[in-house]
Structure 1
Amino acid sequence: MHTPEQSQLGKSSAYVDQYDASLLFPLPRKPKRDEIGAGSNPPFFGADLWMAFELSWLNLRGKPQVALMHFTIPCETPNLIESKSFKLYLNSFNNTRFADASEVLALLRTDLAEAAWRGSESKGSVGVRLLEAEQFQTQKVHELDGLLLDRLDVECTQYTPAPELLVAKQGEPPVTETLVSNLLKSNCLVTGQPDWGSVQIQYSGDQIDQEGLLKYLVSFRNHNEFHEQCVERIFMDIWTRCKPIKLSVYARYTRRGGLDINPFRTSHPGALPANVRTARQ
């Protein structure tokens, strides 16, 4: 079983510019899920929505081609893909010749699915969509919808996750709310480098105290964990302490190494959010 310490994070890495699928480094989701009480049967659905901004290869005449890539890894996969390994993997396309974009797309689908589902008895797929240069103008910028928690003038003193800050008003009629904050910050689990994000919380149930929720989100500021793990921790803390009827947590993190990661977790089946970047991405 791979561990984060065995990855290329925080280490000098050789630049491989010829296609090499072995560069992908899957990490098991289960240890961190056990830590937050999600176990082998977590109470959420969802996916990790990624976007790659630095994808390039050569055509058969040696002319560089460029594209953007959206890809979707279901949270049911046993593994997440460590982001530096994914960057190194994409770099390996840079001086490799391919007949056309469809050949690149087929390799991406095969390799990412193999890494994400590695070790599982039931193999599945991942979603991959390439946008070639003539489609770039279709990409929009849109902020997360919802009531902005950051408007609240709160005193913040806790900078490691403090779920005790989460409180819901019991005995009153249930509400349905969408709340947003741009103040989410955590750090890489291995290197300690900062990860910046915005988060959207949609729920139905007893009304969650907004000041406590904002302070709770700020409390991730010095916490070391991968993006996907932070979102699952936020989901589980709200789910267990506030006991909503329905809950969705969606975070969009700023890009690093030409990649952004945007985990979405929800208590009920439904359509995934559109993978549309925010201004900070």
Structure 2
Amino acid sequence: MSETFDKQATLAGLSLGKATEYREIYAPNLLQAVPRSMNRVELNLTAELPFYGTDRWNGYELSWLNSKGKPQVAIMRCEVPVSSPNLVESKSFKLYLNSFNQSHFDSIELVAEALTKDLSQCAGEKVEVILFKPAAFSQMQISSFDAMSIDDLDIEVKDYQLEPSNLSSGGKQIEETLTSDLLKSNCLITNQPDWGSVFIRYQGQQINHEGLLRYLISFRQHNEFHEQCVERIFCDIMAHCKPNKLSVYARYTRRGGLDINPFRSNFEQIYPEVRLARQ
């Protein structure tokens, strides 16, 4: 009962879903944290985590003024470690980045320092931040996952409520990398759609492709934050398919100039950046 109360109180305190005044002067207090434990208790992740990884954010609407008042722009990439006690709530992240718009900074390095300090304080652990100057923008090419898509499977779908029992595996041992562009869930508070592509790499008994696709589609009316959906996918595949090795990586379409890309794995680190066409 106390967990339910804490969850409701935490969600009620967020600016998400409420009318908001946009501020253009640097305001780190706009950042809001959501305890990761809020969802991990439900997934029975109360002891040592079965995965490691990061939440990779890309921010395309970062701007500030230099010491002479001239606008500057950059693309931000930050990595919030999965071990941090908090995730960064996405609307508050957007509002925080907007607060740089009319603020003066003497250098891009000072902007990166401010971002690193503030985001680390919100997450409760050191966050890595990289800022890319306009000269580097052309290097950020759109690409795709090096994986086999399961989206062309000719299946009939009638149920769009989360159903882990769709997952199964059996037969020969295999190493396989699969992807789907059909992931959709909804914001936990506003019910706005969150669109994404998911990448699944595993080693173990072969996962039934049709069942996996049905499972991913079953998120279509499910309400949960991006990071929580990816951890749920990881835990459900481990529970129902029992692979020896597993990575789950979701690339979500951007909203308000931000995309979020949670990565969870029990055997490898996050891959070099690949920006998908829908991002």
Task: State the TM-score, normalized to the length of structure 2.
Answer: 0.95
Q: How far is 1:271 from its partner?
A: 2.6
Q: How far is 1:275 from its partner?
A: 2.5
Amino acid at match of 1:280: R
Q: How far is 1:110 from its partner?
A: 0.6
Q: Which residue of 1 aligns with 2:146?
A: 145
**Two-structure CA RMSD over aligned residues (Å):** 1.0
Q: How far is 1:156 from its partner?
A: 1.0
Alpha carbons 1:34, 1:40 under 8 Å: kept: no
1:76-91 paired onto structure 2 within 5 Å: 76-91=83-98
Amino acid at match of 2:250: A
Which stretches in structure 1 are left out of the alignment for 5+ residues?
Answer: 118-123
Once residues 273 and 129 of structure 2 are traced to their aligned partners in structure 1, the CA distance between those partners, rounded to angstroms, is 12
Q: Which residue of 2 aligns with 1:107?
A: 114
Q: Which residue of 2 aligns with 1:186?
A: 185
Alpha carbons 2:162, 2:219 under 8 Å: kept: yes
Structure 1 residues 83-133: Cα deviation after superposition (integer angstroms, max 9, x where no partner): 00000100110000010101100000111111101xxxxxx4111100011
| SS in structure 1 at match of 2:177 | strand
Structure 1 residues 223-263: Cα deviation after superposition (integer angstroms, max 9, x where no partner): 00000000000000000111100000000000001000000
Q: Which residue of 2 aligns with 1:279?
A: 277
Q: Which residue of 2 aligns with 1:227?
A: 226
Which stretches in structure 2 are left out of the alignment for 5+ residues?
Answer: 1-5
Amino acid at match of 1:32: N
Q: How far is 1:28 from its partner?
A: 0.2
Once residues 253 and 274 of structure 1 are traced to their aligned partners in structure 2, the CA distance between those partners, rounded to angstroms, is 16
Once residues 135 and 12 of structure 2 are traced to their aligned partners in structure 1, the CA distance between those partners, rounded to angstroms, is 40
| SS in structure 2 at match of 1:255 | coil
Once residues 274 and 113 of structure 1 are traced to their aligned partners in structure 2, the CA distance between those partners, rounded to angstroms, is 22
- Correspondence for 2:35 among 28, 32, 39: 28
| SS in structure 2 at match of 1:206 | strand
Once residues 45 and 250 of structure 2 are traced to their aligned partners in structure 1, the CA distance between those partners, rounded to angstroms, is 19
Matched, 1:39 2:40: no
- Correspondence for 1:8 among 5, 15, 36: 15
Once residues 52 and 89 of structure 1 are traced to their aligned partners in structure 2, the CA distance between those partners, rounded to angstroms, is 11
Q: How far is 1:40 from its partner?
A: 3.4
Alpha carbons 2:142, 2:274 under 8 Å: kept: yes
Q: How far is 1:5 from its partner?
A: 2.4
Alpha carbons 2:145, 2:274 under 8 Å: kept: no
Q: How far is 1:138 from its partner?
A: 1.1
1:50-199 paired onto structure 2 within 5 Å: 50-117=57-124, 124-169=125-170, 172-199=171-198
Q: How far is 1:47 from its partner?
A: 0.4
Alpha carbons 1:9, 1:191 under 8 Å: kept: yes
More deviation in 175-184 or 30-39? 30-39
Once residues 46 and 156 of structure 2 are traced to their aligned partners in structure 1, the CA distance between those partners, rounded to angstroms, is 34
Alpha carbons 1:36, 1:233 under 8 Å: kept: yes
| SS in structure 2 at match of 1:84 | helix
Q: Which residue of 1 aligns with 2:254?
A: 255
Once residues 275 and 187 of structure 1 are traced to their aligned partners in structure 2, the CA distance between those partners, rounded to angstroms, is 25
More deviation in 134-143 or 250-259? 134-143
Query: What is the percentage of aligned positions where both structures have the same residue?
Result: 52
| SS in structure 2 at match of 1:250 | strand
| SS in structure 2 at match of 1:256 | coil
Structure 1 residues 187-229: Cα deviation after superposition (integer angstroms, max 9, x where no partner): 0000000000000100000111000000000000000000000
Aligned pair count reads 272
Once residues 96 and 13 of structure 1 are traced to their aligned partners in structure 2, the CA distance between those partners, rounded to angstroms, is 19
